Chain A
């Protein structure tokens, strides 16, 4: 079974440029998560989707970050414009619909973003 796929794996951009990350979750997983991971820290949740609905986006900086999950499968996370402090690893994860407790989450390899 294929795991969570993310692309690109690495991205280097100049500050103020836009950037987008793509995620394809495990087939049949209705829940999709985007996390941000700074160096030496654990992942921090940015947004969680149930199918195509963003059910928790309270940690997403909405002035420059946006996300979408059309048709409830693939998802895209965008930053516009990027700032130096956005340099980090962006992780996508998916799971079956949680029921009673946090479901096992399956993570992709992440996209390492460097903003110059």
Chain B
């Protein structure tokens, strides 16, 4: 599976939007983009996934660049509970494995 690059850490003020970037310049046409997050002392939890089009769900939005070489996870209003490590993962069609990197540690400031 292709690699992803994320910033090590980011900060956000509470109740403001957060844009978490992910670069995946070697993405192939059949790679899905998955986002998981891991709150302190918990296992990772699914956030959102997409292939080509932007996606929205109750937790977040996923904006995928037209060339698919980057994507952005958008949290519309950060809360203290959103403080976590966010992982951007690529998984090819037919590949059932999620390969986690180090992710981005998001801190939310009250």
Interface residues of A (CB under 8 A from B): 4, 31, 40-45, 48, 56, 91, 93, 98, 100-110
How many interface residues does B have (CB within 8 Å)?
Answer: 24
Tell which of A40, A105, A109 touches B98, judged by Cβ atoms closer than 8 Å: A105
Query: Once A and B bind, how many residue pairs between them come within 8 Å at the CB atom?
Result: 58
Docked CA distance A34–B90 (Å): 19
Q: Does B34 sit within 8 A of A, measured CB to CB?
A: yes
Interface residues of B (CB under 8 A from A): 32, 34, 36, 41-46, 49, 85, 87, 91, 93-103
Secondary structure call for the A interface: loop
A42–B97 touching, CB < 8 Å: no
B45–A102 touching, CB < 8 Å: no
Asked, given contacts A42-B103, A101-B91, A102-B34, whether A107 binds B44 with beta carbons under 8 Å apart, the answer is yes
Min CB distance, B11 to chain A, in Å?
Answer: 18
